[in-house]
Structure 1
Amino acid sequence: MAKRAWFRGRRCHLFWMFFLLLWNNADTQTRYSIPEELNVGSVVGNIAKDLSLKISELYDRKLRIASETGKQYFSMNLAKGEMVVSERIDRESLCGQNANCLLPVQVIIENPLELHRMDVEILDINDNYPHFQSADRALKIAESTVPGMSFPLESAQDPDVGSNSLKSYTLSKDECFSLKVKDLSDGRKVPELVLEKALDRENKAVHQLLITALDGGNPVRSGTSQINVTVLDINDNNPVFDKTVYKVNIPENSRRGTSFLKVNANDLDEGPNGEIGYSIGEHTLDSIRSLFYVDPQTGDVILNGQLDFETAPAYNIEISAKDKGSPEMEGHCTVQIEVLDVNDNSPQIVLTSNPSPVREDAPIGTVVALISSRDVDSGVNGKVVLQIQTDTPFILKPTFSNDYSLLTNGVLDREIFPEYKVEITALDSGSPSLSSKKIIPIQILDVNDNPPKFSDKFYKVYVKENNSPGSIICSVSALDPDVGENSKISYTIIDSKAEDIPMSSFVYINSDNGSIFSMHSFDYEKSKVIQIQVQAKDHGSPSLTSNATVHIFILDQNDNAPVVIYPSAVMGSVSHQRMPRSAKAGHLVTKVTAVDADSGHNAYISYRLAEATDASLFSVNLHTGEVRTKRSVSEQDDSSQRLLIEIKDNGEPVQSTTVTVDILIEDGFHEPVPDYRKKTTELNQKSGKITLYLIISLASVSLLCLLTFFILLVKCARSSSGSSSCCMRRSDSGYKNPNRNLQIQLNTDGPIKYVEVLGGDMMSQSQSFGSYLSPMSEFSDFTLVKPSSTTDFTNTLNVLDASLPDSTWTFESQQVSRFSRNMYIFFYLIFIMSFTQARACVRACVHCFGESNFPPIERHFFYEAQPPPPASCFQELRKHDDKEKPDHRNML
């Protein structure tokens, strides 16, 4: 106990002697030196001071200690910035007989990520006693042995190194023996017993010796072994090996059963005294015996197990040769086996820090993870190079000898690759080279870099008028490829006005799902199209937006009854008309004119004589509303006639109105009849004037058309080398004339066709003139309608193209076909304009000069209405419920 207390005191003294916190910079690494067996909590060094860090930074930057040995021998005292011992350190278990014992330590600092490598040198203290494998050793020496003969003894083992290791041996006093210490090349000290004086068995048959092994520590530690020497008086020649020491190299991957050395010994004796048997020394460790075997007859040394250079790079085997004499004589030799390293260990990839998630907008060079590699092989076989796959936006940057940083090296996009599986390959430099792979998952964090995207940029919705307020009109939807808050979308309607009314008074949108609801009932007669801008906005920071246009087309319903324009009942509900009793059959009494605010077939008006004082006297034209006499008026007819005329539209349900016409037949009421010759002359003069006006009108219109056609042709020839089609250029703003806003719209839906010619200066309000054409007749009426808003020329041409026979051209067709088709369209429009304008002139003449004074052929060709379309046409038209246009046949 006293000895142990003394040792502890000495050990404490050694602690303060060796506990010098030494550090130096070599290859940017810090080294500390501490003795082994330090108490837990002992300070190794002040890392904060050595790394120039503030104490307050240690918590924020999460400084921590990592070890490559598997055990965490050190920890951090963040309050003081010191690295302290956290587990007992035994240098012998860590480094064995290696003189230099270094523990690699990695100091990892985050925010930003840094790696510092430090080496802690473990200094040896004299904490182990020299000891022998066996406490007793028996030797048999013939008395005839010549003095000076040496006998190898068992070497003592001391796990300490340096000055604390085994230094010397001592032998108890004996006049016949002395001790000789032999230094081997591997640093071991082998004691040998030397015979100093010839033995005399009869004088002393047994010699008992005590050998003591001493180390160089302070205090000195020792171990003893008993040697019993038995003196023999026969067989006076020992076997002698050819070599005292055999040296051999063997690869670590040699197969079991390989004979790699043959030892040989000679004995000068004859007979059984000269017969030799080989064996491994008695005091050889069992672990060595399991690896090697010596053939007792031939002396072949055979590999009996699997070598591993990383476990034991060298072996020393003692082989003895014994003869069969009596007593037995033996000789000894040492076999030094050096194991050659073979590249049999694959390199290892170690994650020093777990990979951090990376924002998709992270700049190039952002540190993602720290990686290190190691290979337990030595030399070239242990040199490792890390490689990364080339199809990822990451690179490896070496920091220390076997440490790397994984950095970003390209643009990241979470929507394309939300996570990367980065494959790291480690290759050593052995032959053949060995490799290993490791998959490192790297998650990409989302950034709000994608605006919401609508499924359609333009929505077309058809809603019937008189709809219920609060009913859903349509739903718009947008998608955002981002995730989380960045993908949540809110829908709003951009504040705008329609007819000076805020758009919010027309519709309402659900901000969560994009459903659009009507705020009130729509009226086709007030607004035919409502255009709203819907904005989708995500919840990212900053938020991103996108817009879509919703066109709400109001579909007409038959909700308006026909309105009588003429005759107008100024004084009441009855219109009063006069006619002469001399009127013949077909006499035009009056003309009832009505209009319907609806459009399409809902506005097609028919007239019917519902009631009459004398139904045989009057008739009403179904389509024109003209009231004519069916026969000549007789003297027996009442002078007062009342007609009830019913006016119906063609909608469902049918809307109708009535007008009452009182006709007073007067005997004395008649038109003045002049001289027949004079009347004929006046009629001829009027007819000549009308014909002259008609010729002038037609000539002017024809000249205007030819001039327009020539200008367009010249313009096309000049611009034929451009990318746009002739006479028309497609752009984002539509088709416009720089000097005049001329737009043409052709509607072909419903039973009535019409063309609108829109024009106006750039700075003035646009004007619109519509030509309404009946598809049921070869020649149709021409009607001037009130000015309307300008319509997009691109849409106009698309509609016009759809109405033309055998025409399927589009704006995306080839330019050659586009030229011919556009020319055909313009020629068709010019023809319609010319013809309808001429008919308008004729109709104006008819109204000015009177119907009866107009030549019958021209009146029939240009003026009188054609037969009405059959009822089956209207039944087919009722099946179509979209894009109905008003019928203004009776607006003149």
Structure 2
Amino acid sequence: MGNNSNGLGMTKTIGYRDWRWQALWWHHFFLLWSTINAQTRYSITEELKQGSVVGNLAKDLGLGLSEIFDRKLRVASEAGEQYFSVDAGKGELVVNDRIDREALCGQSASCVLTLQVVIDKPLQLHRVEVEIQDINDNSPRFPSQEITLQIAESTAAGARFPLEIAQDLDVGVNSVRSYTLSKDDFFSLKIKDVSGGRKVPELVLSKSLDREQKPFHQLQLTAIDGGNPVKSGTSQLTITVLDINDNFPVFEKNVYKVSISENSVEGASILKLTAKDTDEGPNGEIEYSFGTHTPDIVLSVFDIDSLTGEIRLIGKLDFETNAYYEIDISARDKGTPRMEGHCMVHIEVLDVNDNAPNIFLTSQPNSVPEDAPSGTVVALISARDLDSGNNGKVTLQLPKGSPFNLKPSFSDNYALVTGGVLDRESFSEYNIEITAADLGSPSLSTKKTINVNITDVNDNRPVFSQSTYAVYLKENGIPGSILYSVSASDTDSGENAKISYSILDSKVQDVSVSSYVYINSDNGSIYSMHSFDYEKLKVFQIQVQAKDQGSPSLSSNTTVHVFILDQNDNAPAVIYPSSAALGSLSHQRMPRSAKAGHLVTKVTAVDADSGHNAWISYKLAEATDASLFTVNLYTGEVRTKRAASEQDDSSQRLLIEIKDDGEPVQSATVTVSILLEDGLHEPILDLRHKVAEPSRKTGRITLYLILSLASVSVLSLVTFLILAVKCMRNSTSSGSCCTTRTDCDNYKNPNRNLQIQLNSDGPIKYVEVLGGDMMSQSQSFRSCMSPMSEYSDFTLIKPSSTTDFKEVISVLDASLPDSTWTFESQQVSSG
């Protein structure tokens, strides 16, 4: 009894407490209900423009326009998205943002957005519902473009097989309304209405199947909606005839969509699929796999767990290779025969800027001639970036200062053109570095070097290594020997730089220069045609031309000055006493009373050579009485060493040897016969005043000789005086005798000089009159005074060709002692 009493008391206590809590709840409910007025409902279609009017909210709530501000009317959406707002000026509820019914309510038949309108002072809460009505903006679409069915051949006619329902995001009349099936003898289509007004297509077996006759059936299923205009979608239906296992696995969805970034790591989980089979045992056990015709590229990137249906990433994604994957997933049971269901997984790959731009040569670079005008196209270039959006937009740049430009063409194609003056001799080729950068963040860039060759144009003349050449050549050389090799270079290339040498025609002593020398056209070596004689030709010029083989060819000239160097190839020639007039023996007379140092005669000789080769020395080789006579080494004067005596033989014979200073030494001899006579008081050689009269014939000969010598002497003296006067008038210094010939002997050359050289060689006086400049031929006249003439008679000895002796003697006769002879020259310019 006690226990029961205790139990009853506890029950009562608990019931009392529940009643108190219920009373408190109802109190709060009625308190809240007192602040809520009747709700308002509006109806609009989806996809209205922003600002479209839904309804007059102020009027429907019984509020004046002023109350909207005073009572602080607020609108909030239970969905969280603010699709609507209140126009405070008009009190209207307007659309604030785009409304997509399918995104808000999916396939729900009713789509209502609930708004909460809160008003202060006093606090009131109004519930406003906005019904979103559908429009036909979506087409029906089957989950997969291909539907595969397996039907046992034992299935009786009339059997029905549900097909995949086409998905139409629209609802109501705009949703799928009917299906059609292509004509087939074995199958027909029935439409089954299910709850919610949906229609499910069912494949009806019209007559029994025979797998052996036709194991496969291909049908086309079409879904049509009820919108205006009508929209439709199709799917290919493949029916495989089986023998058993009449239930196949079914996925929760027919189509799965997922997005993944291309830089996702390997092993990332993408999606987990689930399929169910109403069969039991092995017929209900499901294995997941990719479809039979899944491409290898999908198999290399994705993998599916056969037991769990989880799809994982096993390879690297590349948006640029495949931005979208559509994978057929198969769920197969383990029955006999095995049944399977299918779904489609759509994987969208999201791009990241992971590809640098690529530069392609649409055409290989052309060689460009160095004289190509600006704007000449060198190469065609294109740039590509496998990324998308700004990640795939490319800009190209060239280095600053490049003589090339990039000219845009179309669609990321460019032309590389010349933009400045080209010079192959400065740059024979260009390595042009092109930089391509995309507009991604961060930006990626690529560089490519293009090699452009500059071809040569014959725009440079050959240039000699020297402007002029000076060649010193010994006389009496071997004909055919090389004189000199000139060299020219051409900065062009190929045929434009291939040089041939030639000698321009000119005259040397009225003879073509080609008679003296010839040139090797390939290497510029100049060879002599014959031996040269210094005494006939001292200097000449060769004009050499270097010509390239370009088109048109270019050429340049240089001058080779050839100076002939003297060799000792001439023996001294005796000019007094004259062997031609008196025979090989010269007869002289002297008084027996002559004292020591008496000048008996003077032997004079000249040497056609020059310099040391022309220095003459005299030596007494033999004598009847060597103690009586002596010969001066340099002047050739024959004098007595002692006074003659009565015992001396009246006939004395002297053999005088004359040598030059060359190498080898050249020599000549002369024999002088001296008669010692008593009573001879006057000089034996004063033939003009006193003439011996041994006979009339000898007197006549002597007279003729005197007249000839006098005539020549007078003529020489007059010539010397005239030249001396001209020299005195035109000379600028008293120490030299130079006159500039401006118009003499039919020469108009302002650079020709007249040079007079007066030398004293013992008792023999001679003067040299020289004319010409360094680069032109001139005439030299040497006059020698007779050793026995007291009136400075002149004898004209030889003409010779010479050049400016200041240069030639400095080369040929640098060792000539100053005490031996003096050469003075001063060139006076003719203003």
TM-score under structure 1 length normalisation: 0.52
Give the counterpart of 2:515 among 505, 524, 533: 505
The AA in structure 2 aligned to 1:628 is R
Structure-to-structure mapping, 1:530-549, within 5 angstroms? 530-549=540-559
Q: Residue 627 of structure 2 corresponds to which residue in structure 1?
A: 616
SS in structure 2 opposite 1:530?
strand
The AA in structure 2 aligned to 1:303 is L
Q: Residue 387 of structure 2 corresponds to which residue in structure 1?
A: 377
Q: Which moved more, 1:313-322 or 1:781-790?
A: 313-322
Distance, in Å, in 2 between the alignment partners of 1:175 and 1:620 is 158
User: CA, structure 1 residues 756+654, in 2 after alignment: closer, same or farther (shift >3 Å)?
Assistant: farther
Measured after TM superposition, the shift of residue 612 of structure 1 is 2.1
User: CA, structure 1 residues 398+419, in 2 after alignment: closer, same or farther (shift >3 Å)?
Assistant: same
Distance, in Å, in 2 between the alignment partners of 1:233 and 1:476 is 108
Residue 599 of structure 2 is aligned to residue 599 of structure 1: no
Structure-to-structure mapping, 1:338-737, within 5 angstroms? 338-390=348-400, 392-569=402-579, 570-670=581-681
Residue 262 of structure 2 is aligned to residue 249 of structure 1: no
Distance, in Å, in 1 between the alignment partners of 2:287 and 2:315 is 20
Distance, in Å, in 1 between the alignment partners of 2:180 and 2:816 is 123
Q: Which moved more, 1:246-255 or 1:331-340?
A: 331-340
Q: Is the 1:564–1:595 contact (alpha carbons within 8 Å) kept by the matching residues of 2?
A: yes
Distance, in Å, in 2 between the alignment partners of 1:214 and 1:233 is 21
Distance, in Å, in 2 between the alignment partners of 1:263 and 1:567 is 144
Q: Which moved more, 1:781-790 or 1:570-579?
A: 781-790
Q: Residue 688 of structure 2 corresponds to which residue in structure 1?
A: none
Q: Is the 1:600–1:886 contact (alpha carbons within 8 Å) kept by the matching residues of 2?
A: no
Q: Is the 1:741–1:760 contact (alpha carbons within 8 Å) kept by the matching residues of 2?
A: no
Distance, in Å, in 1 between the alignment partners of 2:399 and 2:680 is 110
User: CA, structure 1 residues 137+594, in 2 after alignment: closer, same or farther (shift >3 Å)?
Assistant: farther
Distance, in Å, in 2 between the alignment partners of 1:375 and 1:741 is 90
Q: Residue 110 of structure 2 corresponds to which residue in structure 1?
A: none
Measured after TM superposition, the shift of residue 772 of structure 1 is 7.4
Give the counterpart of 1:788 among 745, 748, 771: 771
User: CA, structure 1 residues 380+633, in 2 after alignment: closer, same or farther (shift >3 Å)?
Assistant: same
Q: Which moved more, 1:588-597 or 1:421-430?
A: 421-430
Q: Residue 726 of structure 1 corresponds to which residue in structure 2?
A: none
Distance, in Å, in 1 between the alignment partners of 2:594 and 2:453 is 100
Q: Which moved more, 1:531-540 or 1:300-309?
A: 300-309
The count of residues paired between Structure 1 and Structure 2 equals 558
Q: Is the 2:356–2:385 contact (alpha carbons within 8 Å) kept by the matching residues of 1?
A: yes
User: CA, structure 1 residues 565+329, in 2 after alignment: closer, same or farther (shift >3 Å)?
Assistant: closer
Give the counterpart of 1:767 among 754, 757, 771: 754
User: CA, structure 1 residues 786+291, in 2 after alignment: closer, same or farther (shift >3 Å)?
Assistant: closer
SS in structure 1 opposite 2:658?
strand
Structure-to-structure mapping, 1:792-871, within 5 angstroms? none
The AA in structure 2 aligned to 1:342 is V
SS in structure 2 opposite 1:658?
strand
Residue 147 of structure 2 is aligned to residue 136 of structure 1: no
Distance, in Å, in 1 between the alignment partners of 2:339 and 2:529 is 122
Measured after TM superposition, the shift of residue 150 of structure 1 is 6.9
Residue 213 of structure 2 is aligned to residue 226 of structure 1: no
Measured after TM superposition, the shift of residue 591 of structure 1 is 2.0
SS in structure 2 opposite 1:610?
strand
Larger radius of gyration: 2
SS in structure 2 opposite 1:601?
helix
Q: What is the RMSD of the two structures over their aligned residues, measured on CA atoms?
A: 5.5
The AA in structure 2 aligned to 1:152 is E
SS in structure 2 opposite 1:468?
coil
Q: Is the 2:496–2:550 contact (alpha carbons within 8 Å) kept by the matching residues of 1?
A: yes
User: CA, structure 1 residues 534+576, in 2 after alignment: closer, same or farther (shift >3 Å)?
Assistant: same
Measured after TM superposition, the shift of residue 258 of structure 1 is 0.9
SS in structure 2 opposite 1:786?
strand
Distance, in Å, in 2 between the alignment partners of 1:346 and 1:394 is 24
Q: Is the 1:320–1:330 contact (alpha carbons within 8 Å) kept by the matching residues of 2?
A: yes
User: CA, structure 1 residues 179+321, in 2 after alignment: closer, same or farther (shift >3 Å)?
Assistant: farther
User: CA, structure 1 residues 255+615, in 2 after alignment: closer, same or farther (shift >3 Å)?
Assistant: same
| Higher strand proportion (structure 1 or 2) | 2
Distance, in Å, in 2 between the alignment partners of 1:528 and 1:336 is 105
Q: Which moved more, 1:553-562 or 1:226-235?
A: 226-235
Measured after TM superposition, the shift of residue 137 of structure 1 is 6.0
Distance, in Å, in 2 between the alignment partners of 1:474 and 1:196 is 111
Distance, in Å, in 1 between the alignment partners of 2:791 and 2:203 is 169
User: CA, structure 1 residues 410+170, in 2 after alignment: closer, same or farther (shift >3 Å)?
Assistant: same
Give the counterpart of 1:152 among 129, 151, 164: 164
Q: Is the 2:221–2:237 contact (alpha carbons within 8 Å) kept by the matching residues of 1?
A: no
SS in structure 2 opposite 1:485?
helix
- 1:457-485 deviations in whole A, cap 9, x for unaligned? 33232222122333332222223233333
Measured after TM superposition, the shift of residue 607 of structure 1 is 0.9
Q: Residue 814 of structure 1 corresponds to which residue in structure 2?
A: none
Distance, in Å, in 2 between the alignment partners of 1:174 and 1:665 is 173
User: CA, structure 1 residues 464+284, in 2 after alignment: closer, same or farther (shift >3 Å)?
Assistant: closer
Measured after TM superposition, the shift of residue 152 of structure 1 is 2.7
User: CA, structure 1 residues 558+319, in 2 after alignment: closer, same or farther (shift >3 Å)?
Assistant: closer
- 1:254-274 deviations in whole A, cap 9, x for unaligned? 22211245678999x9x99xx
The AA in structure 1 aligned to 2:589 is R
The AA in structure 2 aligned to 1:769 is I
Q: Is the 1:314–1:338 contact (alpha carbons within 8 Å) kept by the matching residues of 2?
A: yes
Distance, in Å, in 1 between the alignment partners of 2:488 and 2:755 is 38
Q: Is the 1:603–1:886 contact (alpha carbons within 8 Å) kept by the matching residues of 2?
A: no
Measured after TM superposition, the shift of residue 393 of structure 1 is 3.0
The AA in structure 1 aligned to 2:508 is A
Distance, in Å, in 1 between the alignment partners of 2:759 and 2:433 is 74
SS in structure 1 opposite 2:770?
coil
Q: Is the 1:170–1:213 contact (alpha carbons within 8 Å) kept by the matching residues of 2?
A: yes
The AA in structure 1 aligned to 2:542 is I
Percent same amino acid at aligned positions? Answer: 55
User: CA, structure 1 residues 460+137, in 2 after alignment: closer, same or farther (shift >3 Å)?
Assistant: farther
Q: Is the 2:612–2:813 contact (alpha carbons within 8 Å) kept by the matching residues of 1?
A: no
TM-score under structure 2 length normalisation: 0.55
Distance, in Å, in 1 between the alignment partners of 2:568 and 2:182 is 131
- 1:745-778 deviations in whole A, cap 9, x for unaligned? xxxxxxxxxx98644155555211347799xxxx
Measured after TM superposition, the shift of residue 543 of structure 1 is 1.3
Measured after TM superposition, the shift of residue 192 of structure 1 is 9.0
User: CA, structure 1 residues 209+534, in 2 after alignment: closer, same or farther (shift >3 Å)?
Assistant: closer
Measured after TM superposition, the shift of residue 247 of structure 1 is 4.1
Distance, in Å, in 2 between the alignment partners of 1:209 and 1:522 is 116
User: CA, structure 1 residues 467+401, in 2 after alignment: closer, same or farther (shift >3 Å)?
Assistant: same
SS in structure 1 opposite 2:514?
helix
SS in structure 1 opposite 2:771?
coil
